[in-house]
Structure 1
Amino acid sequence: MSQNSGDSGTGAHGGHGGHGGNTALLSSVLAGAKAEDRAALIAYLPAGFPTVDGGIEAVKAVIEGGADIVEVGLPHSDPVLDGPVIQTADDIALKGGVKIADVLRTVREGYEATGAPILVMTYWNPIDRYGVERFTAELAEAGGAGCILPDLPVQESALWRENAEKHGLATVFVVAPSSRDERLATITAAGSGFVYAASLMGVTGTRNSVGEQAQELVRRTRATTELPVCVGLGVSNAEQAAEVAVFADGVIVGSAFVKRMLEAENGAAGLDSIRELAGDLAKGVRRS
């Protein structure tokens, strides 16, 4: 599936001065999963972790294992929305000196090797400092599919969206259970690619109610948009992936991959471990 979409998307990649973005590839992969009557599996990995080269290999490994789409995190010194596992990985990447150029290289090499859609997930501040026009042009040129911007308010996003659209990049906004219906409609109208529904898993034992909360958030979000709704929910195994896949268009998994890499004895073992987890999760999203 990724292979064919990758082939059709490759023409858009490079050499088209500013139109290299892969929004169409992202949409076709999400539509392809829907046609197979399953949710897409979306993996999140921070760039530069454990090293820049190691992070690129990790992107390839999860796609080989069965992930449909990858979100590459741009490590940030104050990741307010990330839990301790991702904060630890970000810290390692930042101590290793990761730069935006390394994030873009991760996208480029991951995309060139796999043909899968790759997005960047980042806080707004680094892009603002780097320059919106420059960042969108370079992300598109690297073959990126778009950007997830968890802390950019929709009402302040016009400059970003204008540049993203010009370069063929999706703009993915995050909605939460606390978002009111009216607000959901505003957010989904401004976004493209898919909607990221963030719902925290909470501590063990409260997972069922949180699942219901996520399901309700997806229902409310779908009432406002035709865009696919993908859920980031603290999913860490195939059973949970199958549960979420029943009601979501995509299942987003981050910490579980990062945790496996942090716990691995060495880089090679880490790659084997996340490839295996991607395989299990890929079975999970197909089971529902």
Structure 2
Amino acid sequence: MTRYDTAFAALKEKNEGAFVPFIMLNDPSVEDSIEIISAAVEAGADALELGVPFSDPVADGPAIQKAHVRALDGGSTVRKALDVVREIRSRYPDLPIGMLIYANVAYVRGVDRFYREFAEAGADSILLPDVPVREGRPFDTAALEAGIDPIYIAPAKASAETLAGVAAHSKGYIYAISRDGVTGTERESSVEGLREVVENVNSYGGAPVLLGFGISSPEHVRAAIDAGAAGAISGSAITRIIDAHTEGEHPNPGRVRDTEALKQELTSFVSAMKQATIAS
């Protein structure tokens, strides 16, 4: 069993969903990133989705775009990202670690080398948000040879052909989104239509569904679980917490003003989001 298999099975046994925070690596620095990620795990995160900074993050809204830029201004590189993944893996041997990385990073590095390096660092899965499933075969082949689970996005209004492909080729989980657009546009608290989205994706079988885009409150997490998702991913809300505790603007690298204050706010947020996955 993979770490994802083990984690989802354990959560199902406890009648809980998964809460998965998205955190940008090396934002605003390598050292801060390690402390931020560790705080999220200690607060109850069931798995991680970690971003690798990139100069043209087309799937992301302003909050996460700013995190990309801030990390790059601070000197982030793929090598430094790999170093952080190694450190987090050494601290949390059993935790599922997923990566969100734009395809150009894989292409420039060399696809086989790219997957091999992240597998050796301890990553379990990689999602390339700008690669649709219909174009994913070369990446799938390299991922599976390296022991990495490929992950695909299931768009809210995708065709049957697309959803069938996503279900067939996503191995750790399926990243379902409830609306078109980029990250960071928060839904209203009614979160209407989630059940239809989840049921539509689930009808094609495949890996557990995690719902993302606009997940910013415990109410959103609870709605995702009630709609039948195995869990929820939250990124922009967490990025805004980090941003609020970071000073320095482009082109000057940022720095955390008060690490303990940041960790305290992040811990409260993650704890509340995790609590929302537990059936009452």
What TM-score do the two structures reach when normalised by structure 1?
0.86
Matches within 5 A, 1:83-162: 83-115=61-93, 116-162=95-141
Which residue number in structure 1 is paired with residue 47 of structure 2? Answer: 69
**1:231 counterpart letter in structure 2:** L
Question: Which 4+ stretches in 1 moved above 3 angstroms?
Answer: 200-207
Contact 1:261 1:273 (8 Å CA) reproduced: no
Equivalent pair of 1:197/1:214 in contact (CA under 8 Å) = no
Contact 1:164 1:171 in 2 (8 A): yes
Where 2:20 maps in the other structure, the secondary structure is strand
By percentage of residues, which structure has more helix? 1
Among candidates 204, 216, 219, match of residue 236 of structure 1: 216
Q: Distance in 2 between matches of 1:233 and 1:132?
A: 27
Is residue 207 of structure 2 the alignment partner of residue 227 of structure 1? yes
Q: Which residue of 1 aligns with 2:153?
A: 174
Q: Distance in 2 between matches of 1:124 and 1:188?
A: 20
CA distance in 1, matches of 2:106, 2:186: 36
Residue 203 of structure 1 and its aligned partner are, at CA, apart by: 6.4
2:259 maps to amino acid = G
In structure 2, how many angstroms separate the alpha carbons of the residues matched to 1:92 and 1:24?
33
Decide whether the 8 Å contact of 1:72 with 1:103 is kept in 2. Answer: no
Does the aligned pair in 2 maintain the 1:260–1:273 contact within 8 Å? yes
Q: Kindly provide the CA deviation profile for residues 122-170 of structure 1, in whole angstroms up to 9, marking residues without a partner as x.
A: 1111111011111111111111111011111223222211121122211
**What is the CA deviation profile of residues 157-192 of structure 1, one whole-angstrom value per residue up to 9, with x for unaligned ones?**
222111211222111100111211222002211221
C-alpha distance 58-204 of structure 1, shift in aligned 2 (>3 A): closer
Q: Which residue of 2 aligns with 1:257?
A: 238
Q: Which amino acid in structure 1 is aligned with residue 270 of structure 2?
A: A
Residues 1:149 and 1:67: Cα distance change in structure 2 (over 3 Å): same
Identity of aligned residues (%): 30
CA offsets 1:11-64 (integer angstroms, 9 cap, x no match): xxxxxxxxxxxx801221122212222211111000110111111211111010
CA distance in 2, matches of 1:112, 1:215: 37
Q: CA deviation at 1:213?
A: 2.8
More displaced 10-residue stretch of structure 1: 265-274 or 165-174: 265-274
Q: TM-score, normalised by structure 2?
A: 0.89
Is 1:194 matched up with 2:173? yes
Secondary structure, in 3 states, of the residue corresponding to 2:126? strand
1:181 and 1:220 in contact (8 A); partners too = no
Query: CA offsets per residue over residues 76-133 of structure 1, 9 Å max, x none?
Result: 2121111111111111001112111111112111121122111110111111101111
2-side partners of 1:85 and 1:207: how far apart?
Answer: 20
Determine the C-alpha separation between the residues in 1 that align with 2:66 and 2:184.
Answer: 19
Moved more, 212-221 or 171-180: 212-221
Q: Which amino acid aligns with 2:117?
A: E
The AA in structure 1 aligned to 2:222 is: A
The answer to whether the 8 Å contact 1:177/1:214 transfers is no
1:11 is matched with none
Aligned partner of residue 278 in structure 2, secondary structure: helix
Q: Which residue, out of 169, 179, 196, partners 1:216? A: 196
Tell me how far 1:287 sits from its aligned partner.
Answer: 3.6
Aligned-residue offset at 1:233 = 3.1
